[in-house]
Amino acid sequence: MNVNVTGQNTPSALDFDTALNKAIDRLRAGSPIDECVAASPRFADDLRPLLELTQMTLQLAPVPAPADVKARVRARVMAAAEAKLNRRPWWHTAASWLAGGPAWRLPPVGVAAAVVAFAVFGGGGAVVAAAHSLPGDTLYPIKLAVEDVRLAAARVTSGEDAQAALRNEIADRRVHEAKALADHGRTVPPGLIEAALRHAEAADQLVAALPDGKRVEVATALAASESQRAATLHEVWLRVPEPAKPAIEHAIQQGQAKRADKNQSQNERGDDRSGRSTTADARTPATATPAATPAATATTATGAPATGPTGAQGGRQEDRREDRQEDRGSDRDGQNDRQEDRRAGGPGERQDDQRTGDRVGQPAGGQQDRSDSGPGNSRDRDNPEGRGGGSGAAGQGGSRGASGPGGRGNR
Amino acid sequence: MAAVDTADRANATEAVGVTDEILVRNAQAGDTACFGQLYQRYVDGVYSYLSFKIGNATEAEDLAEQVFLKALESLGGYKWTGVPFKAWLFRIAHNLLVDHLRRKTKRTSEPLDEALPDRRRETDPEDMLIERLTRQGLIHAVDQLTELQKQVISLKFAGGLTNAEAARIMGKTEGAVKALQHAALQSLQRRLSKVPR
C-alpha cells in the first residue's frame, strides 16, 4: 500500500501516521518488528521498511554520555549550582526559621543590618506594613528580621526582664498569626506554633534567672499573656482542618511537657529556697485560668467534656486546695493506672476512670473537677503550693491533672 | 521537607522516583542535591540529542554543560505552568544548539567525529567499524532532511522524547509531529538506499 504523505489531511495519511506512531512506540518499548507490523496489518507493507529504519535509528542515534564526560560536566555544573543555589532566597530562610530553626541565631548580621538600614533610610513604611504580615506574605521575612534585630539589641542593652517581655511579645505574635491564618482559611505552619512555644520557653528561662522579687513581678505579667495565648491556640485548634490538628496538638504537647518539667524543677528549687511558690504562683493566678478556654468554662458548669486541643484547666482553687491537703501522703498506687489511661486517651475521646475520677483523653480544655480526683495526684504532691493551677490550651500545670491531646499524665 | 543528609536525600529521591516538580522546587529553594538529580536524570538524553545533531563529542560535551548551566541560571524563573521540566530543558538545548550551528559556517565534524563514543560496548573492531560507518551514513542522511524533520528525529530518537514533549519544544501539535516523523522516515529511507552501508 502506497500512502500519500503529501496529502496529510487525507484520512489515509492520518491513519498511517497514527499506525506508524503506534508501531514506533511499540518498537521503543521493546516489541519485535513483526509484532508491531501485525498490529496494523492494513499498513504492513509500508510499515515494515520504516520500522526497520526506525530500529536502526534507535540503535545508533542515542549516544549516552560516557562516564568520564558525565563526571566532568557534572563537576562543573554542580560547582556552579553550589555557588548559585546556596545563595538562598529570603523566603527559604524564613521557611527554615518557621520549620524550627534556631530563631535567634539564624539571621545573619548582614541581613539584620540591611533591615535596619532599610527601616531607617526610607523603608520604614515597608517595615510597618510587614508588622501586619503573616507567614507566606511577601513582607513577613522583614517582620522576622526586625524581631531578630530587636532581640539582638535587647541582649546587649536590656536586662533579663525586658528580654523576657520581648520574647513573650513575640510568642504572642506567633499565636495571633496562627489565629489570623486560621481565620482566613490559610494553612497554619506547624513551625509557627513551635516558634511561639520556643519564645515562651525562652521567656521562662529568662524569668527563672531573675531575683526572687523581680521574678514574681515579671512572671505575673507573663502569666496573663500565657493564658491568653492558650485561649487563642484553642481557637486555632478548633478552626484548622482535621489534618492540621495533630501538628498543633503535637506542638502544644511538646510545649506543655517542657514547661511542666521546668515548672517542676522551679517548684523544687523554690521549695528549697523558701518553702513557698514564687514564679509558678504568679504564673497561674486563678483569675487567668478558666477564661483561657471558653469550652472549658462550659465544662466547669456542666461537668461535660469540652472539645479542644488540650485537657488543661485549673480553676476551682478552693476545691483543689482541699484535695491537695487530702492527697498529700495518700497512696500513690493509682498513678500508674491513671497514666496508662491517659496515654490511651486521644483527641475527642473521653473516659471516666471510676477508680480515680480522672478524665482521660479529654481533648478540650475541659476543667478537671478536682473534687472527683482520687488520691495520688502527683501534680498536687509536687506542687503543694498550688503552682500551675490553671492554664489554657498551651498551658501547663493543671493540664497534668486532666489530659487531652495536649495534656500530660501524672508524673 | 525534613532535613536529611544531602547525599542520602539524593539517593533516596532517585530510588523512589521523586517527580521532576519536587526536584525542581527543592532546587529552586537551594537544594543542590536535587539539581544534581535532575542532571543525572537528563544528561544522557541531552548529550545524545546534542551529539547526534553536532556529530562532535567535544562540542557536545561543551554544549551539554552550557545547557545545564543555562538551566541553572534560569531555574528561578521556571514555573510549573504546564511545561514539563524535561521539555523546558530540551528547549534550552535546542536553542543553544541552533545558536551553536548558526555560528558555524559548516559542520566541522562531518563526517562523524571519530571521538564520538560508541553507543554499544562491542569490542569487535569490525562491528565497531560497521556501526560507526552506519551511524555516519545515518547522520549524513539526517543532515539532508528539512529542519523540522531533523528536529523530530533528533528529539525523538536521539533525545528519547515523546511526541507530546517534542511537540512542545517545536511549537507544533502532536499530529504535526507524527506527520513530520512519517515524512522524515520516508525521506531517510530514500536517502539511505543511496548511501553505502
Using a CB-CB distance cutoff of 8 angstroms, which residues of chain B are in contact with residue A88?
29-30
> How many helices (H) and strands (E) are present in chain A, helices listed first?
17, 2
Instruction: Indicate if B110 and B49 belong to the same structural domain.
Output: yes
Rounded to a whole number of angstroms, the distance from the CA of B27 to the nearest CA of chain A is: 7
Residues of B with Cβ-Cβ distance to A64 under 8 angstroms: 44, 47-48, 119
Is B61 in the same domain as B110? yes
Question: Do B110 and B153 fall within a single domain?
Answer: no
Q: Examine residue B160 and state whether it is found in any structural domain, yes or no.
A: yes
In this prediction, residues A124-140 reach a mean pLDDT of 67
Q: B116, B137, B171 — which closes off a domain?
A: B116
Mind telling me how many Å the CA of B48 is from chain A's nearest CA? 4
**C-beta atoms surrounding A181 within 10 Å:** 20
Q: Which of B122, B157, B161 to mutate to test the interface with A (most CBs of A within 10 A)?
A: B157
Q: Is B48 in contact with A5 (Cβ distance < 8 A)?
A: no
Residue B90 belongs to some domain of the structure: yes
**Under 8 Å CB-to-CB from A269, ≥6 apart: which residues?**
none
Q: Give residue for cell 510568642.
A: A171
Least confident of A65-79, A170-184, B7-21, B82-96: B7-21
Number of domains in chain B: 2
Q: Average the pLDDT over A24-29 and give the result.
A: 86
Average of per-residue pLDDT values in chain B: 78
Contact B157 A62 (CB under 8 A): yes
Confidence category of residue B90, pLDDT binned at 50, 70, 90: very high
| Nearest residue, CB atoms, B35 vs list A21, A73, A81 | A81
Closest Cα of chain A to B29: distance in Å? 6
User: Is B135 in contact with A60 (Cβ distance < 8 A)?
Assistant: yes
* Interface contacts (A, B; CB < 8 Å): 140
Residue B167 lies in a domain: yes
Q: For residues B38 and B125, state if they share a domain.
A: no
Inter-chain residue contact A17 with B179, CB threshold 8 Å: yes
Which helix (DSSP H) or strand (DSSP E) does residue A352 occupy? strand A351-352
Same domain, B58 and B102: yes
Within-domain flag for B93: yes
The fraction of chain B above a pLDDT of 70, given in percent, is 74
In a domain, B3, yes or no: no
Select the residue of B27, B29, B182 nearest A20 (Cβ to Cβ). Answer: B182
| Residue of A12, A36, A47, A60 to mutate for B, most B C-beta atoms under 10 A | A60
| CB nearest B181 (choices: A21, A84, A89) | A21
- Does A16 contact B68 at a Cβ distance shorter than 8 Å? no
- B45 and B71 assigned to the same domain: yes
Give chain A positions within 8 Å (CB) of B186: 5, 50
- CB-closest option in A5, A14, A78 to B32: A78
**Is residue B99 domain-shared with residue B145, that is, in the same domain?**
no
Domain co-membership, B73 together with B147: no
B64 and A20 in contact by Cβ < 8 A? Answer: no
If contacts are CB pairs under 8 Å, which of residues 222-251 in chain A contact chain B?
A: none
Q: With b meaning 16 or more CB within 10 Å and e meaning fewer, what string describes B136-164?
A: bbbbbbbeebeebbbbbbbbbbbbbbbbe
Residues B15, B109, single domain; the answer is yes
Q: With contacts defined as CB-CB under 8 Å, which chain B residues touch A49?
A: 189
Residues B127 and B184 in one domain: yes
Closest chain A C-alpha to B25 CA, distance in angstroms: 11
Domain final residue, candidates B116, B137, B167: B116
Distances (CA, A) of A84 to A77, A152, B46: 10, 29, 22
Is A20 in contact with B65 (Cβ distance < 8 A)?
no
Whether a cis peptide bond, with omega within 30° of 0, leads into A32 is no
Q: Do A81 and B32 touch (CB under 8 A)?
A: yes
Cross-chain residue pair A80–B72, CB shorter than 8 Å: yes
A95, B135: Cβ pair inside 8 Å? Answer: no
Higher pLDDT, A88 or A84: A84
Q: Give the CB-side neighbour count of residue A4, counting CA atoms within 13 A.
A: 7
CA distance A23 to chain B (A): 12
User: Does residue B125 lie in a domain region?
Assistant: yes
Of A49-63, A360-374, B20-34, minimum mean pLDDT range: A360-374
Q: How confident is the model at residue A129 (pLDDT cuts 50, 70, 90)?
A: low
Rounded-to-10 torsion of CA B61, B160, B76, B22: -130
**B33 and B102 together in one domain:** yes
Tell me if ipTM is over 0.95. no
By C-alpha distance, the chain A residue nearest B131 is: A60
Q: Which structural domain range is residue B91 located in?
A: 9-116
CA angle B33, B36, B42 (to 5 degrees): 150
Given an 8 Å threshold on Cβ–Cβ distance, is B157 in contact with A17?
Answer: no
Q: What is the pLDDT of residues A277-329, one digit of tens each?
A: 433 333 333 333 333 333 333 333 333 333 444 443 333 344 444 444 444 43
Q: Is residue B135 located within the same domain as residue B145?
A: yes
What percent of chain A lies above the pLDDT cut of 70?
46
Q: What is the pLDDT of residues B156-185, one digit of tens each?
A: 888 889 888 899 888 899 999 999 999 999
What CATH number should be reported for the domain holding residue B24?
A: 1.10.1740.10
Give B137 to chain A, closest Cα distance, Å: 10
**A-chain residues near B65 (CB < 8 A):** 73, 76-77
Which of B94, B116, B138 is at the close of a domain?
Answer: B116
Is B2 among the domain residues?
A: no
- Of A106-110, A313-317, A337-341, highest mean pLDDT: A106-110
Sequence-distant (6+) residues with CB within 8 A of A325 are none
CA distance A11 to chain B (A): 12
Question: Per-residue pLDDT tens for A183-241?
Answer: 888 888 777 887 888 888 888 888 888 887 778 878 877 877 777 887 888 888 888 88
Rounded to the nearest 10°, the torsion over CA A222, A224, A225, A230 is 120
Read off the CATH number of the domain in which B196 is found.
1.10.10.10
